């Protein structure tokens, strides 16, 4: 049941709802003289970002295995549009052009894609932002098991996360793959050929070259997916940052985590289907929330060691 409905159906005598803005765990007596306290998840609507970030910092500091799961929203502050926000990619491009079927079938679609990539694509001049750096800092503090990302922009690695701790479910646009022989080539090398060729082909087998990002209708890289599922099922804190959680199978990861007993935190500008399962939901920019959270973690770790 959605939490707001749950609250409306419950009486104020059963629990005290404080109008703040997070889901949190609050002990409440079940009857007037009860010494047994039950715990209720409450939605508290607050705009107090500092308070919410401090709650998340406490959760990270107290957790043993923290997984961060990112979507396009973590990179919008780097100038890369997401898909579903107003002005996002779907308002400017036809989603059909991002299906593997159309890419393989239509030379016209391939031509358009290479043209777009030649003009800088979606990732042009993108640099990591404050959220990426704050996530990388969590790894340096020893509080990050891994990042599972839907992004193809390489910005987590550029911000300082170790490559072997970043699981890219949807590939990486730094690479181009031949659909014939499977060889991979650096994107920059192929882009240089676009001065003289409209649609470059494989230098070995003349097969179709495709950016090494997963298109709709295409299978995810199996080993990466297996690792992501393993870490989701074995973490004790799972933090979603900048994802609508509607693209599958990536969106199963927070479900695996919650079902295995992990606490869930969501930092996203729009509601997601998993909000009612989260202990904290922060509706603010990742680049504002994440540095506060990492700073809170650092202070807690310092006060423990000092
Ligand atoms: P999405 O577009 O469905 O959702 C992005 C979410 O992020 C939205 O709910 C939006 O409200 C939120 N958001 C936007 N800016 C934010 C910010 N600054 N702080 C916090 N939240 C913010 O994206 P998705 O869930 O990642 O799924 C779409 C697919 O698009 C994925 O498969 C991904 O591979 C691909 N994609 C990747 C990139 C990239 O690599 N940077 C860019 C666009 C799309």
| Extents of the domains making up the chain | 3-45, 47-80+128-170+222-306, 83-122+173-213
Atom of ligand 1 nearest to the CA of 268: 21
Distance, CA of 259 to CA of 112 (rounded, Å): 42
Averaged pLDDT, 142-160: 97
Closest CA to 278 of 43, 10, 17, 19: 43
289 has pLDDT over 50 = yes
Q: Are 103 and 109 spatial neighbours (Cβ–Cβ below 8 Å)? A: yes
- Give me the pLDDT at residue 122, please: 63
Strands of 66-70's sheet, edge to edge?
A: 166-168, 146-149, 66-70, 237-241, 263-267, 280-282
Q: Whose CA is nearest to atom 15 of ligand 1?
A: 73
Task: Find the mean pLDDT for residues 196-202.
Answer: 92
Q: Which residues are the active-site residues?
A: 170
Which of 53, 83, 149, 282 has the most ligand 1 atoms within 8 A of CB, as the residue to mutate?
83
Nearest atom (ligand 1) to Cα of 152: 40
8 or 221, higher pLDDT: 221
- Are 232 and 253 within 8 A, CB to CB? yes
Strands 146-149 and 263-267: unpaired
> How many CB atoms neighbour CB 76 within 10 A?
21
Q: Compute the residue count for the chain.
A: 306
pLDDT the model gives residue 10 = 35
**CATH architecture group of domain 47-80+128-170+222-306:** 3-Layer(aba) Sandwich (3.40)
- Average pLDDT for residues 211-216, to the nearest whole number? 90
pLDDT of amino acid 92:
62
CB 43 within 8 A of CB 213: no
- CA nearest to 146, candidates 72, 228, 265, 221: 228
Asked if 42 and 15 count as a contact pair (C-beta separation under 8 A), the reply is: yes
| Equal fold, 47-80+128-170+222-306 vs 83-122+173-213 | no
Q: Structure pTM?
A: 0.83
**What count of other Cβ atoms lies within 10 Å of the Cβ of residue 41?**
17
Burial class (CB in 10 A: 0-12, 13-18, 19+), 71: buried
Per-residue confidence (pLDDT) for residue 46, from 0 to 100? 58
Q: Whole-angstrom Cα distance, residue 137 to residue 298? A: 9
The burial of 263, by beta-carbon neighbours within 10 Å (0-12 exposed, 13-18 middle, 19 or more buried), is given as buried
Question: Distance from the CA of 83 to the center of ligand 1, in angstroms?
Answer: 6
Determine the pLDDT at residue 88.
61
- Specify the CATH architecture of the domain 83-122+173-213: 2-Layer Sandwich (3.30)
> Of residues 92 and 41, which shows the higher confidence score?
92
The pLDDT score that the predictor gives to residue 24 is: 25
pLDDT tens-place string over residues 225-266: 999 999 999 999 999 999 999 989 999 999 999 999 999 999
25-65 pLDDT, tens digit per residue, is 233 333 433 333 333 333 444 569 999 999 999 999 999 99
Peptide bond preceding 249: is omega within 30 degrees of 0, i.e. cis?
yes
Task: Tell me what pLDDT residue 301 has.
Answer: 96
Q: For residue 89, how far is the Cα from the chain centroid?
A: 17
């Amino acid at each position: 049941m959605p939490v707001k409905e749950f609250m409306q159906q419950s009486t104020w005598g059963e629990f005290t709802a404080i109008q703040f803005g997070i889901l949190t765990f609050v002990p409440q007596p079940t009857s007037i003289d009860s010494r047994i306290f039950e715990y209720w998840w409450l939605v508290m609507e607050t705009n107090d970002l500092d308070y919410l970030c401090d709650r998340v910092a406490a959760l990270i500091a107290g957790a043993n295995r923290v997984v961060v799961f990112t979507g396009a929203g973590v990179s919008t502050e780097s100038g890369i549009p997401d898909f579903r926000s107003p002005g996002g990619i779907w308002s400017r491009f036809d989603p059909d052009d991002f299906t593997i079927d159309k890419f393989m079938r239509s030379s016209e679609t391939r031509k358009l894609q290479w043209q777009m990539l030649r003009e800088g694509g979606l990732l042009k001049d993108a640099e990591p932002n404050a959220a990426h750096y704050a996530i990388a800092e969590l790894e340096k503090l020893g509080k990050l098991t891994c990042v599972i990302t839907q992004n193809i922009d390489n910005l987590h690695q550029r911000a300082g996360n170790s490559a072997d701790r970043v699981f890219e479910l949807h590939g990486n646009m730094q690479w181009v793959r031949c659909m014939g022989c499977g060889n991979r080539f650096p994107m920059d090398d192929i882009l240089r050929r676009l001065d003289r060729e409209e649609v470059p082909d494989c230098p070995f087998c003349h097969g179709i070259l495709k950016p090494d990002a997963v298109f709709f209708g295409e299978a995810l890289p199996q080993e990466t997916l297996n690792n992501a599922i393993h870490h989701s099922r074995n973490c004790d804190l799972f933090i979603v940052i900048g994802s609508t959680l509607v693209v599958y199978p990536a969106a199963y990861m927070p479900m695996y985590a919650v079902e295995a007993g992990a606490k869930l935190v969501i930092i996203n500008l729009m509601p997601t289907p998993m909000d009612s399962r989260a202990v904290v939901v922060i509706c603010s920019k990742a680049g504002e929330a994440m540095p506060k959270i990492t700073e809170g973690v650092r202070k807690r770790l310092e006060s423990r060691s000092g």
